[in-house]
Amino acid sequence: MALLVPDVGEVQLLSYALNKLTPENQIMRLFKNDYTPVEGSVLGDFTEATWTGYAQKSLTGSSWTVATVAGVTTGTFAVQTFTSTANQAAELSYGYYVLGATSGILLWAERFTDGPYAIAVLGDNIAITPKITGA
């Protein structure tokens, strides 16, 4: 599935762009429930991963790179790797979601097109390059 900006995220992102709200850093999390994001999605629709070694990732605004190539503008962040630190019962990760670090508002989400990924063994990992593309 492609990245989806739900209604609550659209309001928040437009409020940042129009200087109605002060922009904030973001937090990236993995979700373990078998859920497909939709326009009406809210933070409570996602169940955060809990496998051993899992930790949410902070996405600092100044670390994003924004560039336009062939008329398409994309914001890209460095690869974020979530790594298991122990052997454990398998837990599936179906995708990721991004929220405002201060507001807690869901900004966007994406279900893995080739997932879910099972995390069970020490060293298992999921690497994601956060990016958002303007249309």
Alpha carbons 91 and 78: distance in angstroms, whole number: 25
Interval 6-42: pLDDT, tens: 999 999 999 999 999 999 999 999 999 999 999 999 9
Residue 1 lies in a domain: no
Interval 56-73: pLDDT, tens: 999 999 999 999 999 999
Burial of 75 (0-12, 13-18, 19+ CB in 10 A): middle
CB 37 within 8 A of CB 6: yes
Model confidence band, residue 1 (pLDDT cutoffs 50, 70, 90): low
Residue 84 lies in a domain: yes
Residue 2 lies in a domain: no
Our count of domains for the chain comes to 1
Q: 80-83 and 72-76: which strand pairing?
A: unpaired
Model confidence band, residue 2 (pLDDT cutoffs 50, 70, 90): confident
What value does the mean pLDDT of the chain take?
A: 95
The boundaries of the domain holding residue 18 are 7-133
